[in-house]
Each structure stands twice: as C-alpha cells, then as structure tokens.
Structure 1
Amino acid sequence: MLRLFVIVLLTSSVMSFDYCTISAQNTMCKYKPTSYGTACMRTIPVNFTAADKTLIVSIHNQLRRRVAKGLETRGSPGPQPAAANMREITWDDEIALMAQTHAQQCVFTHDADRNVARFKVGQNLAIQFSTREMKTANWTSMIQSWYNEVAIMRQSYVTSFPSSPAGVIGHYTQMVWATTFKIGCGIVSYYDTNFQPKYPYKLFYVCNYAVAGNYLSSPVYKSGTAATACPSPTVPKDGLCA
C-alpha cells in the first residue's frame, strides 16, 4: 500500500566552501554530504540518474511555460494570468547537494538554512509512505502534486503573495515564481517506524529553488503576454525567459 503526503553537485569548489560562514544552522555546515542522520533506521538504495535530473527540469519548465502562456485554466477562480517575466529553469549542482544532504537526515521537515553564497534558496518537500521498500522515484507525480495547488490559487495572489492564503499554495507558487531560475533536488529511501509506523518505508523528496520565492507581498510574476518583460540578459524562448 502506498500513500502520499506533501509538505509546503559535487565539485571541489563546493566542497571547499565553508558554509558555516553563512550560518551555523546551514545544512552543509551541520551535516556531511556523505553521511545519514540518526532518524534513518535503515536506508535503501534508490535510483537517481542524470535522466531524472533532466526530467525534473523539463517538467518544471513545461508547467512554468503553461502558466506563462496563459494556458492554465484552473484557479479560484481561473484562469491564471499569463506571465511576462518567467525565467527558464536549469539544474544547479550546489543546491542539489544541499537538497540531498537534507534528504539524508530522514526528517520530513524543512531545513533551517539552505542558502548558498550565490543565492537565497527556497524548497519544496514531498514524501511517500509504503509497507514495502521503494527503490524507484516518481518525480512526475511528486512535482504534479505541488503544481496542483493551482486549483485554489487566486488571481490576486499573483500580484502579492499573501501571508494567510485560503489553503496551501506555497509549493505551486515556488514552482512558478518568476525570478527562480535554478533547481536542484535530492532523494532518500529509508525505513523508519517512529513516523507513520503503519507505513515504515519512506521515500523523501527534496527540491531546492534559487532564487527563493514566496516573499510576502511580492509578486509571483508580472502579468502580461508571455516573455514580453524578460530581464536582461535573458531573451524570449517559447514563452519563458532564457
């Protein structure tokens, strides 16, 4: 049996950076990327390939392009306004390592500080519970579950991200935040009887986003014809700014 719950990079240069200069609570200051947290009673090998990374980026850009072109009809009410300044997303190894390191703590909560020297970093989480080991991720389903919050997205929220929205929208808004242009994700499969003991096998997904979105009172994106207000030096590319 499977149940789903949703919450709102390895280079020498990354490894040599002292993340403790950002914050003592920074994930890469607190934990080694090669280790697992004590909450991981037992870890299970899970496939996470270059193809997965390509898929994650592709799905995000497909959904961002859908919104940017004004093709998303859902909302409260819909449709969603088109976006004039939405960036194209690409993979980033550094924030991916941060995401993987956090996932390896096997604790389904946001980390306190995931920022890097270049960016403030946002985050989406998801977890699957099962009575059996899980060795294969379903990134498409997880990402779609975040995006489906668009069903309760009000048009007024696009111009000003609210402090008290009518329902959970933060995963969706981070996914389509106009100035976000980097993503990096991590995943861990593990056994744990402390959290949801009826379903001891967990698959924990973490995606980090830069630059971070979901700033109170800030616009999610600029409404207007797709890619007509691309920030320099980006240029229009099929509805997005690349």
Structure 2
Amino acid sequence: MSDSLSRRVTFAVTAWMLSVVSSSSAPANTLPDIENEDFIKDCVRMHNKFRSSVTPAASDMLYMTWDPLLAQIAKAWASHCEFAHNKRLKPPYKLHPNFTSLGENLWTGSLSIFSVSSAITDWYDEVKYYDFKTRKCNKVCGHYTQVVWADSYKVGCAVHFCPRVSGFGALLNGAHFICNYGPPGNYPTWPYKKGSTCSACPRNDKCLDNLCTNPQRDKVTRMYINLELFKIYVSCVTALWVTTLTKYFMSVSQVTTLLCFQTGRYFHVTDTHLFFS
C-alpha cells in the first residue's frame, strides 16, 4: 500500500472512530446539568404549580425551593442507572446536614419524551389513584404524594443519560430523572391539611399563590466549611476537596456527620461531584 493511500485509510478510520465517539456521547450532551438555570427553574416551577393547585385545597402547603446539595445527591445516584431508590437516604446514613432523611422520586423513559415538565406531571398524575379520605392508593401513587407533601420545602433534581437502566426492562439510551426532597414525605398520614389556602401556614409566613412562603426558609443556600477544619477531616476526604472547602461552611458537628459518619469507604466528594461507591 502506498504511503498516500495508507494515510487516507488512517485518516478515514480516525474520522470514523471520532464519529462513533461523538455520536455515542451526543445524547448525554442534550440533557441539562444540575447547574443549568432553566433546568432548576423548571423543577421548582412544576413542583410549586402542582402544590398550589391540589384538590381538596391545602391549608399548610409550603413553597418549595431549590437545594444544590439535594441536586448533587440526585446526580450521584442517577449516574448508577438503576431504577431503584437510594438506600442511603435514611438513618443510619445522613447525606444532608439539615435533614435526617430524604425523600426521592424517580422517572425513567426515552430521551425523545423526556422533559422536566412531563416527568413531574407523570408523578402528579398519580393523583387519580389516590383517595384523600382513606389515604389509600389503588395503584402506585407515592410519587404524587411526595410532590404535594406539605412539609417538604426543598428539592434538588438531576437527569442522567443511561445506555441501559437496571430494573427497567429493555429500554436503551434513556433519560434517568431523580428528585430528592427535604424533609421527606410519604409517612402514614395525609400529605397536607385540608382547608382554606394558607390558613395553617407557620407563624410569620406569607401567602404566595396558595403556598406558605418565608424568606429565611426559602433562600437557596450552600454549605460553607471553615478551611481550618480541613486538616481534622483530611482522612475522610480527598485533596480535591480544597476547592470545595473554600465555598462551603459547616459547623464541626455537621462536618463530622456529613463526611465521617461511617468507617471505611462509603462516598467521596470532589470539587464538583458526589460519588456513591
């Protein structure tokens, strides 16, 4: 084979390989990250849309706002591509400094039909299986009750591209969407109190679109950690935490609970990602 022909073949093979790599990664690039402002707004908007319009009306429904750490937790679990709940959301584990336990909703489907709006609407549409008087479901309705759980006031969501989703049949190249909630819902009681809207809001709350709002509770915050504490917990985290530690502040007890609650390798955090292992 001549040198010129050899080069053409090499270039052709290289171009084909790049095309394959590019096409295989393209679906993932079409999905928004947890820092995408439109994605965040849609997640919050759709939850509050349904929370503000429940039937019968709710007297104590809290306004829901975004929580970046809940979104990180959702992102980490979604990357496992399992159609199953994260078993580390309840004690003895504690993934969030402000909540002992966390709630979770999952949605999995093809990329072509995924949107934040359609996924959360699918959860809410389970209302048709829920009897408010008896608190019973004739089919799956736990996603609905979590969406409208009055006391859940923080949400963080993530969507991940999965070539396959374990536990979800033959679906290929799907979107795996997860939302985590704090505090969690779905206890053996009503999801909210029936009554005139905002009539049972916490003291000092105001009413906005039939929801109880409070500036302190509703603000979007990040956890900050004192860099002086880093040397104490260096055995629990990697050096990549340095960039994170400049942004986050927590008390000593919160750091101990969040990062060092279990002996041995459980999860580690880098500057941008939380990984379950």
Scaled by the length of structure 1, the TM-score of the pair is 0.68
For residues 29-68 of structure 1, the aligned pairs below 5 Å read 44-45=28-29, 46-48=31-33, 49-67=36-54
Q: Distance in 2 between matches of 1:179 and 1:153?
A: 19
Distance 1:62 1:193 in 2: 29
The alpha carbon displacement at 1:190 in A equals 2.2
Cα 1:113–1:235 shift into 2, 3 Å: same
Please state whether the residue corresponding to 1:149 is helix, strand or coil: helix
Distance in 1 (CA, whole Å) between partners of 2:206 and 2:192 is 16
- Give the alignment's Cα RMSD to 1 decimal: 2.3
Select 1:156's aligned residue among 133, 147, 153: 133
CA displacement, residues 172-219 of structure 1 (integer Å, 9 cap, x when unaligned): 000001111010001110213876674321110000111100012x22
CA distance in 2, matches of 1:139, 1:147: 12
Q: Distance in 2 between matches of 1:65 and 1:82?
A: 8
1:118 alignment partner AA: N
CA contact (8 A) 1:47 1:135 kept: no
Higher helix share: 2
Partner amino acid, structure 2, of 1:223: K
**1:201 pairs with one of 131, 150, 173:** 173
Q: Which runs of 5+ in 2 are unaligned?
A: 1-23, 90-94, 214-277
> In 2 relative to 1, CA 110–146 (structure 1 residues): closer, same or farther, beyond 3 Å?
same
The Cα of 1:117 is off from its aligned counterpart by 2.1
Match of 1:178 in 2: 150
Task: Quote the offset at 1:233 in angstroms.
Answer: 3.8
Q: Greater CA radius of gyration, 1 or 2?
A: 2
1:116 to 96, 99, 103: 96
Relative contact order, CA 8 A, sep 6+: which one is greater? 1
Q: CA deviation at 1:135?
A: 8.4
> Which is further off, 42-51 or 224-233?
42-51
Aligned counterpart, 1:141: 118
Relative distance call for 1:137 and 1:167 in structure 2 (3 A) is: closer
Compute the displacement of 1:234 (Å): 2.1
SS at match of 1:66: coil
Q: Unmatched 5+ residue regions in structure 1?
A: 1-40, 68-79
Question: Identity, % of aligned pairs?
Answer: 31
Q: 2:109 aligned to 124, 128, 143, which one?
A: 128
Q: Distance in 2 between matches of 1:235 and 1:194?
A: 44
Q: Give the one of 178, 200, 209 matched to 1:229.
A: 200
* Count of aligned positions: 180
Q: Is the 8 A contact 2:145 2:191 kept in 1?
A: yes
Q: 1:82 aligns with which of 47, 57, 80?
A: 57
Q: Indicate which of 63, 78, 86 corresponds to 1:103.
A: 78
Q: Is the 1:182–1:210 Cα contact (8 Å) retained in structure 2? A: yes
Alpha-carbon distance in 2 for matches of 1:181, 1:128: 26
Q: CA deviation at 1:232?
A: 2.7
Secondary structure of 1:85's counterpart equals coil
